[in-house]
Structure formats: structure tokens, C-alpha cells
Amino acid sequence: MNYTTQMDAARKNIITEEMKIVAMKENMDVEKLRELIAYGKAVIPCNKNHKNINPEGVGEGLRTKINVNLGISKDAYDLEREMEKVKTAVEMKAEAIMDLSNYGKTEEFRKALVEYSPAMIGTVPIYDAIGFYEKELKDIKAQEFLDIVRKHGEDGVDFVTIHAGMNRATAEVFVNNPRLMNIVSRGGSLLFAWMRLNNQENPFFEYYDELLDICAEFDITLSLGDACRPGAIADSTDASQIHELMVLGELTKKAWEKNVQVIIEGPGHMAIDEIEANVKLQKKLCHGAPFYVLGPLVTDIAPGYDHITGAIGGAIAANAGADFLCYVTPAEHLRLPTLEDMKEGIVASKIAAHAGDIGKKLPGARRVDNEMSDARRKLDWTRMFELAIDPERPVEYRKDTNPEDETTCTMCGKMCAVRTLNKVLDGENVNILR
């Protein structure tokens, strides 16, 4: 039988090759996965033109996935450096990479990224419009925004962030409910500005059916962006954010009518006590569609350390049911991330995702933790490093010190509790002083 998208196949009781691969990775019955995709509770972002993709699933009952943002900008235009980041992100097993390039002719980098990467690739097509058409924002036509989405689909992009919920009604709610930080979504701010400058409706909302046809043609997963995501904890869970979320819920149903897979994007900056409620609200208003969060960052006062504030929020969000974490680097709010910034962000997000999976009680989530504990009990340092999320740093730390007893570390030395118990339980003398 023929099918257009993974959702279309699932609804026709077709098990695709991508479903088989994802089910094996997740230790899930493939029929169960098919049902989740049919109901929109899980997605497999997999453009028909992304030939070397290693498919991943995002959604209910699946491991929490992480996304890495990178790309060129006018102030940091270095394609070679960005490709080095891509290769490192793939080596570190990031499940998704978003190309947020926003300057010049970005097609060269995007095509190279898709051709190289087995990870799923996402973009925000509106970023590309100004450079592609060489027009100021106000002068871009509605149809041209849609044409850019088609171009990204032809290039093999697996999911696209589209801020279709920033319509005139949402914009009015925002204007009537002032915020401390206004709109911090780059794509959302561009669309809000375009609407005001041209006195027109958001093209992605007005011509949403045409957008869905493009997504269905290439099996692009539609990541419905939250233009009103809070950029300060003072703005979280406000009228603008919730109004837009309600719009996204309606747009989700329309997408499913055309068998287009959907992810919902979420905050942003948010006080720690609001995260769980926001996840539950999204799942309710958006009918169980997978939830993709940036952070959330739980405080606004840690520039240079926002990979930590984001990981705290990400772990809580994942535990509450968020399915997809967008990483945050130490350079957030400060500069384009370096390679080292990116690595710090990946590790922090992977920790958050794994901690969330343990909290969700996903089958097998604790297995590697138990293996690590067993290696620690045996003082098997080699095995500990093999199991670590980031093997490089613990090896460096270990080499940097020289304990008297090489089975221990310089923190406790021969007073190591693990060493003491191992010896005593084996009937040996502890011999701390000699």
C-alpha cells in the first residue's frame, strides 16, 4: 500500500521501516509505536529526501530526545567551524540538529548538513527568507514564506519550526497584556513585525492548508513554534503564552486531518514550580502531541551558566512528560556558541533527558545507572569511564591526580568507603596506615 507520511502509514496499519528501527531502539512493540503515531502522540521526523537518516522517535513512552542548535550568522560566518560542530554533535549522539542559520545564502550549509547527518534535521524557514530573497522583511510576500518551506522540504529537512499560532488574535492579546521581555522568539518577533508592517494576517496561519500540503508532500514534521514563549520568568504562563497554546491545539487537529506529524514547542524561561503544570496543560490543550521545550531556564540571573539552569528545568519538564529538549549552552544570551560551549550544552541536556526518563520509569532507563554503580562498587575505573555520558572529562580528572592506592581517588584515598567495605567483606584487613 502507498502512504504519504509516517502518520498516514500508521493509520493504514502499515509498519514502515522507520517504525521498525525506532521500535528496536526503544525496546517497544512496533504495533504499540504504530498506534502512538496514528494518534499523534509520537512522531518520527523523517523527510523522504533525507537519505542517510538514522530515524528516531519523539513522544509518549519513548526516550527523551535532545536537539542541538547551530548555524551561521552575520557576525560569525564560518561554515567550516559549524560543520565541525555538526560532526561532534553526531559523535556525541545528539538525536537532532537544528540549523538556525540566519545570514546570507544558507542553502550550501543546509544541504551539507542534511547530506552528512544521520541525526534528524530541523530548521526555521523564516530565518532564511530575508537572505534568500535579498529583501527587507516588510517586502517579502506571503507566498514567498511558503515557498521557502517547500525549498527546505526539497533539501531534506525533517522538521520545521513554524510560528503559525502568532495570528492577529494572539498579537492583540500580547499588545493588551504587556510583558517585561515582550516577544523573545526570533521567528515570532519577525512574524509579529511583518504583520504590523503590512497590516496583514500571519501567512502561515492564513494559508495553513497550503503549508500542510507541503509538509505532507515531503513528510516534514511540523514543529509548531511558540512565538510567545516567555523570555523571562516574570512572563511565564501569562495570557499571551496560553492563548497561543490554545491556537496551537486547534492547528494540531487540522494538521492531523492531513496526516501531518506535529510537535508543539514550549517555554522558555519559567519558575521551577510552574513547569509540571505547563507540561500537563500543553498535553491537554494539544491533544497529547509531543512537547519540545527550550530549557526551561528556571532563573534569569545565570548568564554563562544557562546550560545548568536549562538542565534543571529540562529534567523537571522531562519527568513531567516533555518529550524533546532543546539544549542550552553556557553562551546562551551572550554569543554564538563555540565547539566547547556546544559540548557543554549537549552533556547538560543529555543528563536532564536521562534524569527525566528515570522519573518517567521508562523500561530500562535505570539499567546504565545500575551498571555504573556496579562498576563503582568494584572500583573498576575503566568501566566507569565507558558508561559515562561524557567519557572525556572523567578521564582527564582521573589523570590529573595520583592517589597512593591506584584503586581509589585523591578525595578519600585509603579511607575510601568502597575500598573499606570490599576488603572487610572479603575477610581482609583494611590497612589504612600502611
Is 326 annotated among the ligand-binding residues? no
Phi and psi at residue 162, to the nearest 5°: -130, 125
Is 286 annotated among the ligand-binding residues? no
Handedness of CA 344, 323, 225, 279 (dihedral sign): negative
Q: Which CATH superfamily is domain 6-360 in?
A: Radical SAM ThiC family, central domain (3.20.20.540)
Is 412 annotated among the ligand-binding residues? yes
Is 116 annotated among the ligand-binding residues? no
> In percent, how much of the chain has pLDDT > 90?
91
Number of residues assigned to the chain: 434
Is 69 annotated among the ligand-binding residues? yes
Is 310 annotated among the ligand-binding residues? no
Of the listed ranges 67-71, 422-426, 428-432, the least confidently predicted one is 428-432
Is 215 annotated among the ligand-binding residues? no
Is 46 annotated among the ligand-binding residues? no
Cα of 167 vs its chain's centroid, Å: 24
Is 292 annotated among the ligand-binding residues? yes
Is 416 annotated among the ligand-binding residues? yes
The whole-number average pLDDT for the span 191-211 is 98
Domain ranges of the chain: 6-360, 366-400, 403-434
- End-to-end CA distance of the chain: give it in Å, rounded: 75
The whole-number average pLDDT for the span 315-331 is 98
Q: In the prediction, which pLDDT does 1 show?
A: 60
**Secondary structure letter of residue 297 according to DSSP:** B
Is 243 annotated among the ligand-binding residues? no
In the chain, the largest separation of any two C-alpha atoms, in whole Å, equals 83
- Take residue 11 and report the three cell numbers written for it: 493509520
Is 333 annotated among the ligand-binding residues? yes
106: pLDDT confidence band, cut at 50, 70 and 90?
Answer: confident
User: What is the distance between the alpha carbons of residues 434 and 432, in angstroms, rounded to a whole number?
Assistant: 6
Tell me, yes or no, if the pTM score tops 0.75. Answer: yes
239: pLDDT confidence band, cut at 50, 70 and 90?
Answer: very high
> Each residue of 46-101: pLDDT tens digit?
999 999 999 999 999 999 999 999 998 888 788 889 999 999 999 999 999 999 99
> Each residue of 5-28: pLDDT tens digit?
999 999 999 999 999 999 999 999
Helix locations, 117-260, DSSP H: 125-133, 142-154, 168-176, 186-198, 203-206, 208-218, 239-257
Q: In the prediction, which pLDDT does 217 show?
A: 98
